[in-house]
Chain A
């Protein structure tokens, strides 16, 4: 593995070679590991819900009748458990099914959300394609990535205009039946909650720094001029950013392909 803060072999030589202080890089790595593990706990519960949905689909298919919406009602208990266990972090959770999976509904969202007091309510979404308010979830990143890769994914941050109506991450795990993708299990985490967990540690690094997604979107920042939601330059090193931790610093991407950088002072 490349030493922290150094470009990987073959990478373009940065215009201004910058090396992260090893102590700083170690603290940044620990911060990134902490948030990754915390989100990993939620993702583990999402994966459990996906596995339970797969068991239901497999058992129903084995006995013959087509899948119906009510077959998945036992998942409500697991979703409620997730929302209670992850209160303050997970804002919503549930499953969505691929069009045509159910015999009694063309599309299906079984999703619940938790208010700040962890009261759980069902989400109501207009799934009638004839309606002007129709919501097509099959075009979202959190649905498409598990469909494409067969793996869990962490989409966002993005503006979730259906469930939370806030700046959100959606963790998702594919649901498969007889080798076929039939939907995803997922959970929503508000970007503000991730900020609450990360900002103290980020500020404690003693340098202006950002946590950025694998797409290069600023998630948490101690810079007033590079606020959350901003896009990082395409080549952060060349733009004077010093990679501290994550794939941006040459570390293998873990559960989350997120990276920490210091921000150049101009």
Chain B
């Protein structure tokens, strides 16, 4: 993909008009997520404020508010003068800081709603997987659950975790649920492992084992409950961390 085509794709996804009621927090969060996903790179210059405001479909005042929030979080730097403008600040070693910034920009209400959405998708996928998974699917799920135990870094854990949930939706034989899991994980996946402390890692990995066990036992209701409880526990940890952060 050429850089101009890439720019078009990014413009469509990042700068799509916001829903009615979109505010500075939403603009700031979308930009912060783009930074954590690596869509906006360190040192990259953002389009002019007026252009950015019209792309997001917000007023210049709202856009300036959003940029101020990102400046406070250290994700954007504004320089004056001829070569001035707003520039992305995302040095490689600041990934955890960036993810925290995304969390800070999400309200408790939004976090709870994301948790509800994830629990609905994961619960339905687990139930259908318990009804439909064949021996080969179970072996795949066990393998990826094992990879989560072996994962050493947060990136590895997030990747193994996302893969288990995508594989469960695939074992449910549902392309739509699979695409939904993929989209949820690319949107909020970085957040999931943020509040997990080192001494909690084994327990989170064991939660996945129990979920896979209930699918392997072909017990649809238990599988659904295991998935829902698992996502609810993750949401609880995130809410807890978000509440301890206070207001942005």
Contact = CB atoms under 8 A, between A and B. Distances in A.
Interface string B76-108: 000000000000000000000000000000000
A233 B135 CA distance: 13
A161 B135 CA distance: 20
A166 interface: yes
B113 interface: no
A230 B162 CA distance: 24
Nearest to B190: A132
Interface string B153-180: 0010011001000100110011100110
Contacts of B136: 141, 215
Residue among B133, B155, B159, B190 having the largest count of chain A Cβ atoms under 10 Å: B159
A167 B173 contact: yes
Contacts of A124: 1
A231 B159 contact: no
Given A159-B178, A161-B166, A139 B140 contact: yes
B40 to A, nearest CB: 16
B189 A229 contact: no
A231 B132 contact: yes
Interface string A142-168: 000000000000000111010001110
A231 B134 CA distance: 7
A45 B173 CA distance: 28
Contacts of B131: 230-231
A159 B158 contact: no
A215 B179 contact: no
A159 B155 contact: no
A130 B155 contact: yes
Nearest to A155: B136
A216 interface: yes
Given A133-B186, A229-B132, A231-B132, A161 B178 contact: yes
A139 B166 CA distance: 14
Contacts of B170: 158-159, 161
Contacts of B186: 133
B126 to A, nearest CB: 15
Contacts of A159: 169-170, 173-175, 178
Contact of A132 (B134, B159, B169, B178): B159
A165 B170 CA distance: 10
B187 interface: no
A132 B162 contact: yes
A161 to B, nearest CB: 5
B182 to A, nearest CB: 6
Contact of A217 (B134, B166, B190): B134
Interface string A204-247: 00000000000111000000000011110000000000000000
Contacts of A139: 140, 143
A161 B170 CA distance: 8
A122 B43 CA distance: 30
Contacts of A158: 170, 173
B182 A161 contact: yes
B132 A230 contact: yes
A223 to B, nearest CB: 15
Nearest to B135: A215
Contacts of A134: 159
Contacts of B189: 132
A228 B132 CA distance: 10
A159 B186 CA distance: 18
A216 B179 contact: no
Nearest to B177: A159
A110 to B, nearest CB: 15
Nearest to B158: A132
B26 to A, nearest CB: 23
A229 B173 contact: yes
Contacts of A167: 173, 175
A169 to B, nearest CB: 13
Nearest to A229: B173
Contacts of A230: 131-132, 173
Interface of B: 1, 131-136, 140, 143, 155, 158-159, 162, 166, 169-170, 173-175, 178-179, 182, 186, 189-190
Given A131-B159, A133-B186, A215-B134, 18 more contacts: A132-B189, A132-B190, A134-B159, A139-B140, A141-B136, A157-B173, A158-B173, A159-B169, A159-B173, A159-B174, A161-B170, A166-B175, A215-B136, A228-B173, A229-B173, A230-B132, A231-B131, A231-B134
